[in-house]
Structure 1
Amino acid sequence: MEYAGRGDPVRTLALLWDGLPPPKRGPRHRLHLSQIVDAAIAEADMAGQAALSMRALAQRLGIATATLYTYVPSKAELLELMVERVAEGQPLPPPETGWRRGLRDLAESDLVAYRSHPWLLQVATARTVFGPHVLARYEAALALLDDAGLPARDVTAFVAAVDSYTRGAAAAVVEAEQAPGQTGTTDDEWWESLAPLLEERMGGRFPRIAALETAGAFVVSDSTLPYTLRRALDRFEIGLDLVLDGIGARVDG
């Protein structure tokens, strides 16, 4: 797990908000900051955030590692720039969107981001990345509840509840999506090898599981996707409805 806020705060905020300062002397920068951050994201998408290093990034960019440090002082600042860059590409709900539709849209776009960039799940959220696009996203979420008549603490707590739920459910989706590649077996292969062995051991001992299975509790909505992935996606949708229903009960109350 990596934590934001470990870099120099002055340099971090300057890079997040202002970009690269012009060199005091010598030639102009050969690279734009966005090129560096996009390359870092591509490297993390391919190899994982833990495998990302300044040396590996410099090799991808075709520059010396020492040169890369003249752009970004360390991986700590780079990580925050990566999170901010992802937020920059995410859509925001229009101001006129109702709170329920808007919070759902934000959650679903976050799920897309987590699936596209699984390393985001390894960036701790205890300390916020204070980039303009990250903050704009938070501002948009809070604005959805402007007319709900809620206490101020409830507004921030409800937005946090949706965010926390989405992150947890997204982890299950990403795990299911990565399982075949990480284990070397498909869902069908895994289940075909396990099912007869389980039937021998479970038969008659767990009546509630058996009854719910017979009633269709473990059926997924789309059989074209791998089973565990589709189940995780179905549960994401059902769980998100539950969270939004809970917020709706407080708004209506």
Structure 2
Amino acid sequence: MEYAGRGDPARTMALLWDGLPTPRRGPRQRLDLHDIVDAAIAEADRAGPAALSIRGLAQALGIGAASLYTYVPGKAELLELMVDRVVGTQDLPTADDGWRAGLRELALSDLAAFRAHPWLLRVATSRTVFGPHVLARYDAALALLDGRGLAAIEVVGCVGAVESYTRGAAAAVVEAEQAPVQTGSSDDEWWQGLVPLLEERMNGRFPRLAALDAAGAFSVSSSALPYTLQRALDRFAFGLDLVLDSIAARIPT
């Protein structure tokens, strides 16, 4: 797990909010901060955040590691820039169609970000990245519940519940999506090899499971995607409705 907050807080905040300082003398800097952060995101997408290094990133950018350090102090600060950069590519949620639709869009947008950048699931959330995009998105999410009659702590708790649910359920989606590559076998290959062995051992010993299976409890909404991925997506949608229903029950009528 990678943790934010390990770097120099002053340097991190300056880079997040102000970007690179303009040199007072000498030649202009060759690289733009966005280019550096985008390259770092691409490296993390390819190999994960643990494999990301200043030396490796410098090679990808075609400069020396010493030169890269003149832009970014280290990996710790870079990680926070990466998170804020990804959040900055997401649309801000709005209450145009009501608070429920806004929170649903928040969750779906975060799910899409986790699927596009699975390394985000390896960045701990216990220490928030206080970047301008992260805070703008959070502020917009809180605004969805303005005027709903909730106490301040309930507003924060409701948004936090959606975010926490999304992160946990998104992990199952990403794991299902990556399984074929990581295991070297498709869902069909895995299941075909397992079924006869499983049937032999279950052999009527689990009646509730068998009854629910016969009633369609393990069906999925579409066969266009691999079964385990579609099941994870269906469960994500079902669980999100449960969370939103719980929030709705708290809002005074």
Aligned equivalent of 1:44 = 44
TM-score normalised according to structure 1 size? 0.98
Structure 2 segments unaligned to the other structure (5+ residues)? none
Alignment deviations for residues 138-158 of structure 1 (CA, whole Å, 9 cap, x no partner): 000100000111010000001
1: CA distance between counterparts of 2:161 and 2:2? Answer: 22
Give the match's secondary structure for 1:94.
coil
2-structure distance, mates of 1:191, 1:95? 43
Superposition CA RMSD, Å: 0.8
1:122-166 CA distances to partner (integer Å, 9 max, x unpaired)? 000000000011000000010000011101000000100000000
Q: 1:28 and 1:108, CA in 2 relative to 1: closer, same or farther beyond 3 A?
A: same
Cα pair 1:4 1:124 within 8 Å, conserved: yes
Shift of 1:96: 3.1
SS in 2 for 1:231: helix
Q: How far apart are the structure 2 equivalents of 1:77 and 1:200?
A: 54
Partners of 1:229 and 1:66 in 2: CA distance: 43
Give the 3-state SS of the residue equivalent to 1:71 in structure 2: coil
CA distance in 1, matches of 2:154, 2:52: 38
- Output the CA distance in 1 between the equivalents of 2:200 and 2:24: 74
- Measured in 1, the distance between the counterparts of 2:248 and 2:195 equals 41
> Could you tell me which residue of structure 2 aligns to residue 90 of structure 1?
90
Aligned residue number for residue 190 of structure 1: 190
Asked whether the equivalents of residues 95 and 140 of structure 1 are also in contact (C-alpha less than 8 Å), the reply is: no
2:30 — aligned with what? 30
Which residue does 2:226 correspond to in 1?
Answer: 226
Distance 1:156 1:93 in 2: 15
Q: Deviations over 1:155-213 (max 9, x none)?
A: 00010000000000000000000000000000000000000000000011000110000
Residue number in structure 2 paired with 1:62? 62
Q: Structure 1 counterpart of 2:209, which letter? A: I
Matches within 5 A, 1:1-253: 1-252=1-252
Consecutive unaligned residues in structure 1, runs of 5 or more: none
Q: Distance in 2 between matches of 1:100 and 1:41?
A: 31
**Percent identity of the aligned residues?**
74
- What whole-Å deviation, never above 9, does each CA across 1:192-245 have from its counterpart, x for those lacking one? 000000000001100011000000000101111001000000000000000000
Which amino acid is 1:238 matched to?
F
Q: Aligned pairs, how many?
A: 253
Paired with 1:248 and 1:95, the residues of 2 have a C-alpha distance of 15
CA contact (8 A) 2:44 2:51 kept: yes
Measured after TM superposition, the shift of residue 24 of structure 1 is 3.6
